[in-house]
Amino acid sequence: MEVPWEKAEVSCPNCLEILVLRPGLEEIWCQRCEVGYDVMESQNPKDPERTVLVLSKKRETRDRA
């Protein structure tokens, strides 16, 4: 999929901290609440010319040893 954007700022679904997404980013961690999200790009079903960024909560937890 072509990447016509440079960055996107979204709120963490858990704590509302601003997260900065960039093209090619596959995962992001919120430093405030320490929750990880997978980042996926998909076409907007209503407008195929537009890209939608989807955050889904990571299933595994980060090792804090």
Write down the pTM of the prediction. 0.71
- What is the full per-residue pLDDT of the chain (65 aa) written as tens digits? 565 678 899 999 999 999 999 888 899 999 999 999 999 888 888 998 888 888 999 876 555 54
Q: How many CB atoms lie within 10 A of CB 19?
A: 20
Tokens describing residue 23: 């093209």
What residues are paired with 51 via a beta bridge? 43
